Amino acid sequence: MSENEKKMESPLTKYPRPPFVKQPQEVPGLASKMNPVPDHGEQSYKGSGRLTGRKALITGGDSGIGRAVAIAYAREGADVVINYLPQEQSDADEVLALIAAAGRKGFGIAGDITSEDFCRQLVEEAAEKIGGIDILVNNAGHQQAIESLLDITTEDFDTTMKTNVYAPFWITKAALPLLEEGSVIIATSSVQAYDPSENLFDYAQTKAANVAYVKSLAKQLGPKGIRVNGVAPGPVWTPLQTSGGQPQDAIVKFGEVTPLGRPGQPAELASIFVQLADSNASYATGQIYGAAGGNGHP
């Protein structure tokens, strides 16, 4: 085998399989405290200049899928701004170091996107730091597993809705005047939009809303030359899950119900976000790309 040839890898054994140890964390959780630590592509993702000169804003870019996307975008040549909560600064610092190591500009803006004022400020500051925005990734999410509707407080419901539905609305509205023809918007939905779990009542509704966000906005912005797409992950090994997104008993066997028998790693989704941002995908808009280990509908 030559150096340029890649060896075949089985998707069954490429990454850790359950059982996992119980590992509760407080919301929002840190990737650095997970066991095993998720793979965001830190060692594996190799860029090829697909996004050279592009300017991306990614919410939830400190860990999980957002972190994998930030690393991939930087290695593909984009400058990147990530948003995260102040409690996630240590994870964010690791991402920013990786962006710098890729030779790109990287900036972190900490703050709570459940605030409309902060969402406007986030877009303004991001555009100022990297000279504009032409890739907007609305990825940040809030998920808490609660068995009964009767136990979901209005405050709980508000937090989920504001993080997953209001924030993308506020951020997109603020960014839209800055987006030129050729820009792209990408939303992170979920398999929960299509096959909701009984204990994710509020979260699943927001993920279905994210699908409608993509399909409606794509029709509105298509004539302006702006593409809008989404990604619907299945079970992916991120702090969202270990910090209350799943019951701890479910963490032990997380991902085993998929045909691949394991959870996805954030690194496995990064290339989808790169493809959707790349101008070579110029006819893809209004689409939801699935990545759920053999489950899910898109």
**DSSP letters spanning 34-48:** SSSPPP-STTT----
Give me the helices (H) in the chain, please: 64-75, 89-101, 116-130, 154-161, 167-175, 201-221, 239-240, 248-252, 267-277
Residue with tokens 């979260």: 203
- 66/11 Cα distance (integer angstroms): 22
For residue 272, which amino acid is it? I
CB neighbours of residue 131 within 10 Å: 9
CB neighbours of residue 200 within 10 Å: 20
Catalytic residues: 203
H or E element in which residue 291 lies: strand 288-291
Three-state secondary structure call for residue 259: coil
- 274/58 Cα distance (integer angstroms): 13
